Amino acid sequence: MDAIAYPVRPARNLHRFANPGRFLRLAGRVQPWLTWPALLLTLGGLGWGLFAAPADWQQGDAVRMMYVHVPSAWLASAGYVSLALASFAALVWRHPLADLAAAEIGPVGAGFTALCLATGSLWGKPMWGAWWVWDARLTSVLVLFFLYVGHIALVRAFDDPARGYRAGAILALVGAVNLPVIKFSVDWWNTLHQPASIKLTGAPTMSGDMLWPLLVCAIGFTLAFAAIVMARTRAAVMERRIRGLLLAQAERGSEHGSGRALDGAFGPGAGDGPGRGIGHVPGHA
């Protein structure tokens, strides 16, 4: 009888990184390659945009706000894409690190979305004469911010973290419907917000003198986002490990009928302060 050839599952490779030790080793090696280029490119790009890039013939120097606003807007959407992908991996393949990564992407994505809204408001006041208008693009990005905040709250709302992660993953996937609305809002509706200057399907409608510093800023901000999320995920993996070790210690202590093992679990650095100790994951208050 011929041997049955089973198809290779796509999740198999992903699960190679489900091992916390392997992930921590790999992430520890990758972290400096994200952090230092992020710092150099972000500061270099912002300096280039602020001092060396030309002013716009129509907007004047106000166009320099673009070098912060556009990368943060790009990351607000790209961050949500990564949140939705991590949620998908967590729901479909039950990848144990995808849950943690999604929980760590949420606050960072919310921060960059808030930055996008704030800098857009600062750019809008001198150009449009208003801090805020209920324009389709602005409103859909505000909805994105609320989706991030909802995800953050939902993930941390349950005593059982697994339930929180699952509810958050469902919200993240449902909320992904907002992404094409954000992207195409300036095409579908008559908005005050300008249409895209950089398109995949055509040449950019922007001078190269402005485009290059913008690209440097965008790459720098993207690397910074990735570096922050990776550092937070590494910390979350370690915290999960700490909780597991403390629980194991506590169980061993209760099996021996002695509370001594718990002394170590609740000792200095482990249980100092309200709400700390077994079952508590720092940063998930």
Partner 1 sequence: MTHMPFIAATYVLGVAVPLVFAVGAWRRLAQARRRLAAIDPRAAT
Stretch that binds partner 1, among 3-11, 77-85, 157-165, 218-226 (CB under 8 A): 218-226
Q: How far apart are CA 278 and CA 2, in angstroms?
A: 53
Cβ 138 to partner 1 shortest distance, Å: 16
Name the DSSP class of 257. T
Non-local CB neighbours of 163 within 8 Å, separated by 6+ positions: none
Decide if residue 60 touches partner 1 (CB under 8 A). Answer: yes
Stretch that binds partner 1, among 132-140, 170-178, 197-205, 220-228 (CB under 8 A): 220-228
Q: State both tokens at 273.
A: 């302060």
Q: Taking CA 158 as the corner, what is the angle to CA 172 and CA 18, rounded to the nearest 5 degrees?
A: 60
Q: How far apart are CA 249 and CA 262, in angstroms?
A: 7
Q: Are 42 and 67 in contact (CB under 8 A)?
A: no
Cβ 81 to partner 1 shortest distance, Å: 19
Binding residue (CB under 8 A) for partner 1 from 108, 141, 210, 262? 108
Q: Are 173 and 124 in contact (CB under 8 A)?
A: no
**Helices 208-255 and 96-128, packing angle to 10 deg:** 140
Cβ 177 to partner 1 shortest distance, Å: 27
Helix or strand or coil: residue 27?
Answer: helix
Q: How far apart are CA 169 and CA 101, in angstroms?
A: 11
Decide if residue 72 touches partner 1 (CB under 8 A). Answer: yes
Decide if residue 22 touches partner 1 (CB under 8 A). Answer: no
Q: Which of 60, 180 has the CB closer to partner 1?
A: 60
Residue 147 burial (CB count, 10 A): 24
Decide if residue 82 touches partner 1 (CB under 8 A). Answer: no
Decide if residue 231 touches partner 1 (CB under 8 A). Answer: yes
Decide if residue 44 touches partner 1 (CB under 8 A). Answer: no
Q: Which of 20, 167 has the CB closer to partner 1?
A: 20
Decide if residue 238 touches partner 1 (CB under 8 A). Answer: yes
Decide if residue 145 touches partner 1 (CB under 8 A). Answer: no
Decide if residue 239 touches partner 1 (CB under 8 A). Answer: yes
Binding residue (CB under 8 A) for partner 1 from 23, 74, 80, 112? 112
Decide if residue 126 touches partner 1 (CB under 8 A). Answer: yes
Sign of the alpha-carbon torsion through 143, 145, 150, 155: positive
Helix or strand or coil: residue 4?
Answer: coil
Amino acid at 264: G
Q: Which of 45, 166 has the CB closer to partner 1?
A: 45
Stretch that binds partner 1, among 3-11, 143-151, 188-196, 244-252 (CB under 8 A): 244-252
Residue entry with tokens 């990758």: 30
Decide if residue 87 touches partner 1 (CB under 8 A). Answer: no
Q: State both tokens at 201.
A: 């399907």
Q: State both tokens at 38.
A: 């992020």
Binding positions for partner 1, rule: CB under 8 A: 21, 35, 42, 46, 50, 55, 60-62, 64-65, 67-69, 72, 107-108, 111-112, 114-115, 118-119, 122-123, 125-126, 221, 224-225, 227-228, 231-232, 234-235, 238-239, 241-242, 245-246, 249, 264, 269-270, 282-283
